[in-house]
Amino acid sequence: MTTRKSWQSIHDELRRRIVDGIWQPGDLIPAEEQLAAEFQCARATVNRALRGLADSGLLNRRRRVGSRVATEPSRYATLKIDIIRLEVEQRGAKYRHALTERAQVLAPERVQYRMNLNDDTELLYICNLHMADDRPIIYEERWLNPVVLHGIFDVDFSAISVNEWLVRNVMFTRGDISFCATNLTEREAQLFAADLGEAAFVIERTTWQDEQCITSVRLLHEPGFSMRTELI
Amino acid sequence: MTTRKSWQSIHDELRRRIVDGIWQPGDLIPAEEQLAAEFQCARATVNRALRGLADSGLLNRRRRVGSRVATEPSRYATLKIDIIRLEVEQRGAKYRHALTERAQVLAPERVQYRMNLNDDTELLYICNLHMADDRPIIYEERWLNPVVLHGIFDVDFSAISVNEWLVRNVMFTRGDISFCATNLTEREAQLFAADLGEAAFVIERTTWQDEQCITSVRLLHEPGFSMRTELI
DNA sequence: ATTATAATTATGTATAGACATAACAAATGT
DNA sequence: ACATTTGTTATGTCTATACATAATTATAAT
């Protein structure tokens, strides 16, 4: 009967050795077999620990070669994409949204390109103002593809937000997201009761089901907004 | 002899059933034992597949209860934090950086708070302008804690960038990052040869070794910059 | 009726042993 | 000298079995 070691404790110990510099960046660490012998456990348990370290970018692993401490440990920031309503309610504010625009139109060329569409597909164009305690926080501008979203033109988006309807009704297989900064236009400034030209944070998100684009959205945040997360 | 199934193929098949709506959000899916029987494989293999689906937020798993399709599948955007030089070189541009400021000073209160420091610790304050093909792309403003970074005052940061020196010499145990937009000040606008008040994308990053703050940095990006990533 | 205790059950993780696979090294044939 | 084949090795994954753990349900004690 051998001592029972959890893969977590091995993970943590190996991580410590890397962080404390016992194993320097670039070093080849002992093979799974040897570590298993050291920790008195099965190789599979060491494997589980090493895989965790590789996932978080601390190790590079290659068959036949071994596990090497990453020379340039890549760090990742993981952002959780929530439904706006939940985000607002989680910080104890009252959520409300107002539909400001709704039209069946051809998308501008820039959007057609982003969504990989023909120039003859009419999209549902919807704009929404999201509010926390009646203060506008996000202006949402969205194009929806009726080819994928059957019956989308019949949905009453004053009752349920588009975001929420989508999350509940379709599942995307892939997506991309980009962040940038922009100067508020005259019209946008009015929405936020802000000044013309103020800097605002923008998220653009496009989601797909296999090769077909579902929707593309631009989320214009109120001036002063800051998005925070932990590094891993 | 049973058929050999990889956990990946099971993962993909189960994922398909969720995406295609065969298993609806909120549904309890068959137990590992049953799935193992269906796929003619060991329970451990099904477990590996289900763990993958849970990691990507598609399933909620609870002991004794089972695995449930997430009602509000949370999506994550993962951003890779690279060394700026590598980022520039990866897109085929020539990297250069210029040290614009270096001082041993008390940090402003706002920064002291962010770094959780006493108000009597003198920090190394360093500013750098990062360039791609001699065009300024990022203005880096950084405070370094000499309590953690012994001998930091003696390093020649015109030869190696602070970023790179840090990555190679200290490893952080945790960190936080935040994104926002700001209007360029007169001085900042000059750096980028841009107009006063133009919107710029800002990343603020603070890293720690256990309870001690290592460094806090503000990366001011050139106007028009956009950061993109895949959703997972 | 309420509370404490035990049984049950699905997931979580451990084990040893096996084979699969990728990458490198050595041996071989031309 | 070169390309091709063969062997070796560390990781990747699978199997079967076992025990651990958390959550729920059933049972017993008060």
Identify which of B118, B122, B116, B131 has the alpha carbon closest to the alpha carbon of residue B211. Answer: B116
Point out the residue nearest to C22 (C-alpha to C1'): A63
Amino acid A3: pLDDT = 39
Alpha-carbon gap, residue B41 to B107, rounded angstroms: 60
The whole-angstrom distance between A45's CA and the closest CA on chain B is: 13
Please say which residue of A24, A45, A69 terminates a domain: A69
B166 and B55, same structural domain? no
A3-7, A132-136, A151-155, B116-120: range with lowest mean pLDDT: A3-7
Q: Considering just the CA atoms, what is the radius of gyration of chain A in Å?
A: 24
Amino acid A5: pLDDT = 59
B163 and B118, same structural domain? yes
- Tens of pLDDT, residue by residue over A50-104, are 999 998 889 999 999 999 999 877 777 888 888 889 889 989 999 999 999 999 9
- Tens of pLDDT, residue by residue over A137-196, are 999 999 999 999 999 999 999 888 888 888 778 888 889 999 999 999 999 999 999 999
Amino acid A83: pLDDT = 83
Amino acid B5: pLDDT = 58
The mean pLDDT value of chain A amounts to 91
For residue A97, the domain's CATH number is 3.40.1410.10
* Other residues' Cβ atoms within 10 Å of the Cβ of residue A34: 12
Query: Among positive and negative, which fits the CA dihedral B89, B91, B94, B96?
Result: negative
Contacts of A197 (CB under 8 A, 6+ apart): A183, A184, A189, B183, B197
For the segment B3-16, the average pLDDT, to the nearest whole number, is 83
Identify which of B2, B22, B140 has the alpha carbon closest to the alpha carbon of residue B83. Answer: B140
B142 and B43, same structural domain? no
Quick one: tokens of A1? 């009967």
* Other residues' Cβ atoms within 10 Å of the Cβ of residue B11: 20
Amino acid B78: pLDDT = 82
Number of domains in chain A: 2
Q: Three-class SS of residue A228? A: strand
- Encoded amino acid at B87, one letter: E
Amino acid A77: pLDDT = 82
B80 CB closer than 7 A to any strand D atom = no
Alpha-carbon gap, residue B7 to B15, rounded angstroms: 12
CA to C1' distance (Å), from A41 to C15:
8
Contact B183 A177 (CB under 8 A): no
Identify which of B8, B10, B16, B58 has the alpha carbon closest to the alpha carbon of residue B34. Answer: B10
> Does the residue B231 lie in any domain?
no
B176 and B212, same structural domain? yes
Q: Three-class SS of residue B80? A: strand
A160 and A61, same structural domain? no
Q: Three-class SS of residue A23? A: coil
Residue in chain A nearest B175 by alpha carbon: A231
A146 CB closer than 7 A to any strand D atom = no
For residue A31, the domain's CATH number is 1.10.10.10
A136 and A104, same structural domain? yes
B160 CB closer than 7 A to any strand C atom = no
| Torsion of the alpha carbons at B63, B67, B68 and B73, rounded to the nearest 10 | 100
Point out the residue nearest to C13 (C-alpha to C1'): A6
Amino acid A172: pLDDT = 86
pLDDT bin (cut points 50, 70, 90) of residue B232 is confident
Domain enclosing residue A33, as ranges: 7-69
- Tens of pLDDT, residue by residue over B169-190, are 888 888 999 999 999 999 999 9
B44 CB closer than 7 A to any strand C atom = yes
Residue in chain A nearest B180 by alpha carbon: A226
The whole-angstrom distance between A221's CA and the closest CA on chain B is: 9
Residue of B174, B181, B223 lying closest to A231 (CB–CB)? B174
Amino acid A2: pLDDT = 36
A55 and A137, same structural domain? no
Residue B153, pLDDT > 60, answer yes
What percent of chain B clears pLDDT 90, i.e. is strictly above it? 71
> Does the residue B78 lie in any domain?
no
Distance of CA B36 to the CA centre of its chain: 37
Residue B1, pLDDT > 50, answer no
Which positions of chain C lie under 7 Å from any protein Cβ?
Answer: 8-18, 20-24
Phi, psi of A117 (to 5 degrees): -115, 160
Alpha-carbon gap, residue B210 to B198, rounded angstroms: 38
pLDDT bin (cut points 50, 70, 90) of residue A210 is confident
Chain B partners of A149 at a C-beta cutoff of 8 Å?
none
For the segment A107-132, the average pLDDT, to the nearest whole number, is 93
Chain B partners of A227 at a C-beta cutoff of 8 Å?
178-180
The mean pLDDT value of chain B amounts to 91
A108 and A24, same structural domain? no
Residue keyed to tokens 């950086």: B97
Best mutation target among A164, A168, A180, A192 (most B Cβ atoms within 10 Å) is: A180
Evaluate whether A145 touches A213 at the Cβ level (below 8 Å): yes
Q: Three-class SS of residue A214? A: strand
The whole-angstrom distance between B78's CA and the closest CA on chain A is: 4
For the segment B37-53, the average pLDDT, to the nearest whole number, is 93
Amino acid B3: pLDDT = 38
The whole-angstrom distance between B217's CA and the closest CA on chain A is: 14
Evaluate whether A78 touches B77 at the Cβ level (below 8 Å): yes
Alpha-carbon gap, residue A91 to A113, rounded angstroms: 37
> Does the residue B77 lie in any domain?
no
> Does the residue A227 lie in any domain?
no
CA to C1' distance (Å), from A205 to D11:
37
A97 and A185, same structural domain? yes
Alpha-carbon gap, residue A205 to A122, rounded angstroms: 20
A14 and A123, same structural domain? no
B3-12, B48-57, B129-138, B216-225: range with lowest mean pLDDT: B3-12
Residue B100, pLDDT > 50, answer yes
What percent of chain A clears pLDDT 70, i.e. is strictly above it? 98
Alpha-carbon gap, residue A65 to A61, rounded angstroms: 8
A139 and A27, same structural domain? no
